[in-house]
Chains A and B, each alone.
Chain A
């Protein structure tokens, strides 16, 4: 067993059905591989578990984003429309206590704050969902070694790929190649770094 080739990103196997990819990923996980990923044109049921990847963090992030939005709107409105006048008024910026007397209602009119709290909850959740997804997916990134493989173009239309990366502790160019060959892929390519 010799050290992995430093010039190699990994080995890429191509499959023509989602089931074949899930089976291959299962076999690879059972074999003990950890640093690997699956690529498919659409979400494949069970692929995440087959790859042994943890569940995505997105729901937690989006929930926190929503809470942040809700809280931001509440605090913003509470502090701008202010409470009762205090002796500190001379020392705070004018926007801070921009008290609006609306038909004599209390300055702290929480029912009126709710629509904005709702809107910012949605807005922040949506932003967290979009940008969190992009960040967790590795964007912004201009290039990926897999793009060097000609066959990989079809990952966005009709082919399913499993890539075992060279950084995996079990990775050994000859043995891993033989193992992946044994999975009966349509094609098996070395991905240069």
Chain B
């Protein structure tokens, strides 16, 4: 192993150790707060916190499959971190287990009186017992809501929910570990066209399967928190958010692992960084496109079943987060990433990528949290609980991720893309030293 490989391994393990420590502290705070804020706040926070780390792992798998099919130099760069992310999927599945309790009367474990005196409580169906209100048989709802929920009973049933989640994880883990196992074969026996074909036979159909699975999972985990509401754009926002998060993570990992060890300013690394930055720019714009079009369609149609989703997020304090998302999730990264220099410079790009990840959490918080507190953002101990749970789950996932990253090096050494160069036709990518002086 070269010095660089050893150094990268050390850096990855260092990040892993730090993240585990922070994560455990967060989780301990979160569990101790369970006795203060009650199990209702705990499980609501846990679900909110779970979506981003799980999305990073799933997004890594999606990116991995896309690059196997599409090719391109960027795929050679992101392959190792994406494989590492995909290998964390079994742990992500284990992290989901407590959430199955959300289908039982989990709020009664550690009951705490919650004042639901919000004048906007009618904006969503509220359950006093369960995380997913549709699962609660003792739901107090109005007649028109009952009609809608009864019609959805066939899909939104406890057993079917469990089958879908378990099935989704089985498929994801199968595809992720399968691709990772083939990568090990490539490492030991060398690259061959038939090996590449096997990877593509998993990845091609895998992308289709993944899209269908995300359709079900986004509906189950997140959209059904507002059981009356529905949006056909939501699965796209949910699934694409994961891919955007994974791309931001890949940019950070690329820069972090090489920082100080190799020259991030040489012409090859600048081209790679520019590719990653361009992905972030394009993905940010696409996120804005799908997020805004969902809003525009619902705003235009103005239907009673659909509009409460946005009403719940446009008053009682949530409107500030809504505007902050427009500014921070779109305008700021968009304007910064428009500059070629910002995309090519490691010290700028990693900051933008971290900022995008933070905004990803803000977006997820905005999607999930108002389902429990429609039209009323109560900042207090429950917010602390949210942040503690997020720190906990995110820290532990990042720890697992970097432990996996440390295992197999920076690049897939037998990938034939090793000998190619990132291609750019734009003329001014190279700076010619002035030979006069």
Contacts and interface: CB of A to CB of B under 8 A. Distances in A.
Given A49-B431, A49-B432, A112-B300, A43 B295 contact: no
A22 interface: yes
Given A43-B426, A46-B430, A30 B292 contact: no
A50 interface: yes
B302 interface: yes
B428 interface: yes
Interface string A1-29: 00000000000000000000010001001
A120 interface: no
- Interface class of chain A by DSSP: helix
Given A30-B436, A114-B292, A115-B296, A55 B428 contact: yes
Given A63-B338, A114-B296, A50 B432 contact: yes
A48 B296 CA distance: 45
A114 B296 CA distance: 9
A45 interface: yes
Interface residues of A, number: 22
Nearest to B431: A49
B259 interface: no
- Interface class of chain B by DSSP: loop
Contacts of B296: 111-112, 114-115
Contacts of B411: none
B102 to A, nearest CB: 34
Contacts of B429: 45
A103 B302 contact: yes
Contact of A26 (B340, B424, B426, B435): B435
B427 A46 contact: yes
A60 to B, nearest CB: 11
Interface in A54-85: 55, 59, 63
Contacts of B434: 30
Nearest to A66: B338
A126 interface: no
B337 to A, nearest CB: 13
Given A30-B435, A112-B300, A45 B430 contact: yes
A43 B424 CA distance: 10
A30 B300 CA distance: 63
A186 interface: no
Nearest to A105: B302
Contacts of B295: 111
Interface in B280-296: 292, 295-296
Given A103-B302, A111-B296, A115-B296, A46 B432 contact: yes
Interface centre among A46, A48, A50 (most CB of B within 10 A): A46
Contact of A111 (B299, B425, B426, B427): B299
A111 B310 CA distance: 13
Interface in B282-326: 292, 295-296, 299-300, 302
B292 A43 contact: no
Contacts of A55: 428
Contacts of A44: 427
A111 to B, nearest CB: 5
A90 B316 CA distance: 41
Contacts of A50: 432
Contacts of A42: 425
A68 B429 CA distance: 29
A30 B434 CA distance: 8
Contacts of B428: 45-46, 48-49, 55
A47 interface: yes
A55 B431 CA distance: 12
A55 B429 CA distance: 11
A47 B427 contact: yes
Contacts of A47: 427
Contact of A43 (B302, B425, B435): B425
B414 to A, nearest CB: 29
Contacts of B300: 111-112
Interface string B321-351: 0000000000000000010100000000000
A186 B196 CA distance: 46
Interface in A104-154: 105, 111-112, 114-115
A47 B425 CA distance: 13
A7 to B, nearest CB: 32
12 contacts: A30-B435, A43-B425, A45-B424, A45-B428, A45-B429, A45-B430, A46-B431, A49-B431, A49-B432, A111-B296, A111-B299, A112-B299
Interface of B: 292, 295-296, 299-300, 302, 338, 340, 424-432, 434-436
Given A45-B428, A112-B296, A115-B296, 17 more contacts: A29-B436, A30-B434, A42-B425, A43-B425, A43-B426, A45-B429, A46-B427, A46-B428, A46-B430, A47-B427, A50-B432, A59-B338, A105-B302, A112-B299, A112-B300, A114-B292, A114-B296
The 6 residue pairs across chains A and B that have the minimum distance between CB atoms: A43-B427, A30-B436, A46-B430, A49-B432, A46-B432, A45-B430
